Structure 1
Amino acid sequence: MTDGVFAIAMTLMVLSLDLPRLPGKTTEAELLSALRGLLLPLFKYAISFLLLGTFWVIHIRQAHHVRRVDVVYLWLGMGALLLITLVPFSTSLVGDYPDMGPAEYFFHLNILGISTLYAAQWAHATRHHRLVEPDLQPGMIEKERRLGLLIPAFAIMGLMLAAEGPFESNLLYAAVPPLAALLRRFS
């Protein structure tokens, strides 16, 4: 089910990219101008796709270590999926209202909610090796815990930067995958 939710959410996001209707006799310059107008929505789409991809990787990495589930773990996952299905809406919202603070705040809160639920899910699963393999090394648990706090930290920074502008507050998220790769390698 989870893979399907991710796939549908990622696909739905592209539907929010609308090229404005151009007159029947459109010039190349008019088309290029219309395409330039899509740069910010395309940027938002790419960031949202990157984030959903990162959340999917987090889900897969956690699932690799989880050997059993309980009701709390399942409901934390359902909460994350609920918020994942909101990402196409929050992406569309910031695309339609690019200079409006409430749209930016909604997007960052959406990302903060998803990332916090995944961090809580990992914490719940690994506390006293509750749901993970008993021989999972404490160092591995701690490394994944730290990585799980990366996106919530970036979402909080995004919330603080949202007043400065949509581009700046979302550009932060582009740093998540390379930073996570560095943390995995050197911790």
Structure 2
Amino acid sequence: MTDEDRTLSPRRLEAFSDGVFAIAATLLVLDLSVENLGAITSNDQLWHALGSISGSLLSFVISFLLLCMLWMVHARQFEHIVRVDNTVLWLNSLRLLGVVLIPFTTSLNADFSGLLLGRLVLPLNFLFVLVLGWALWGYVSTRSRGLLDEMSDAAVRSSGRRALGAVIAGLVVVLLAPFIGSWAFLAFAVSPLTSRRS
């Protein structure tokens, strides 16, 4: 059996993954509902009610933007992956497991931000997804496996450094979240800067 017989085109994996990312992003908004605002009869009451759900709004915005970032990483990786094997299928499936948990951990983060575990579940969820993305790239970028296109060695190393930079930023978020909550996700804003310098 040749390597070609043990691998598949990535088309179906990409379609499935895109669907999972799209559904997870859509599910995020379900926690936001006008029913949570109560009876509103004035502008002042509406502003006050919106302020009372500001934690949920912040968690939604952060999770949506970071989910988009995760999808962009996935899309960039699969622009260069021309074949997939069982290991890639499993690594990607585990990564998607983390992705579909993001709406749930976002809700936990918003509703239980006063508790240590409530502040940690979402950062740990993102870290799980980032580690699996980094592991997947490390696996497919081994040239002897023949899973990548003709990407240059420098580009492969650069992508690996960016993936590692995201994992490091994820670790920083996990370490900061107990102290500053969702604001810890700002570490991802500087992650591209630090990975470019390395």
Instruction: Indicate the larger mover: 53-62 or 35-44.
Output: 35-44
- 1:108-128 CA-to-partner distances (Å, cap 9, x unmatched) read 111111001011111000113
Of 144, 148, 164, the match for 1:132: 148
Could you state the TM-score of these two structures normalised by the residue count of structure 2? 0.84
The aligned residue for residue 38 of structure 2 is 22
Contact 1:109–1:159 under 8 Å retained in 2: yes
Structure 1 position 94 matched with structure 2 position 98: no
Shift of 1:30: 1.2
Shift of 1:45: 1.1
User: Against the structure 1 CA distance between its residues 118 and 47, is the aligned structure 2 distance closer, same or farther, given a 3 Å change threshold?
Assistant: same
User: Against the structure 1 CA distance between its residues 76 and 170, is the aligned structure 2 distance closer, same or farther, given a 3 Å change threshold?
Assistant: same
Whole-angstrom distance in 1 between the partners of 2:97 and 2:42: 43
Contact 2:141–2:148 under 8 Å retained in 1: yes
Contact 1:9–1:85 under 8 Å retained in 2: yes
Which amino acid is 1:116 matched to? V
- 1:89-117 CA-to-partner distances (Å, cap 9, x unmatched) read 01111111122110221111111110010
The aligned residue for residue 143 of structure 1 is 158
Shift of 1:29: 1.1
Which amino acid is 1:122 matched to? W
The aligned residue for residue 174 of structure 2 is 159
Q: How does 1:75-114 map to 2 (within 5 A)?
A: 75-114=90-129
RMSD over aligned CA atoms reads: 1.9
Whole-angstrom distance in 2 between the partners of 1:60 and 1:77: 12
Instruction: Indicate the larger mover: 80-89 or 55-64.
Output: 55-64
Whole-angstrom distance in 2 between the partners of 1:100 and 1:17: 21
- 1:7-35 CA-to-partner distances (Å, cap 9, x unmatched) read 11001001112443423x62221111011
Unpaired runs of at least 5, structure 1: none
Q: What secondary structure sits across from 2:148 in the alignment?
A: coil
Number of residue-to-residue matches in the alignment: 181
Could you state the TM-score of these two structures normalised by the residue count of structure 1? 0.88
The aligned residue for residue 168 of structure 1 is 183
Instruction: Indicate the larger mover: 63-72 or 123-132.
Output: 123-132
Q: Which has the higher helix share?
A: 2
Structure 1 position 66 matched with structure 2 position 81: yes
The aligned residue for residue 179 of structure 1 is 193
Whole-angstrom distance in 2 between the partners of 1:129 and 1:60: 23
- Percent identity (aligned): 33
Whole-angstrom distance in 1 between the partners of 2:159 and 2:101: 25
Shift of 1:171: 2.7
Contact 2:127–2:170 under 8 Å retained in 1: yes
Q: What secondary structure sits across from 2:38 in the alignment?
A: coil
The aligned residue for residue 8 of structure 1 is 23
Over 6 Å off, 4+ runs? none
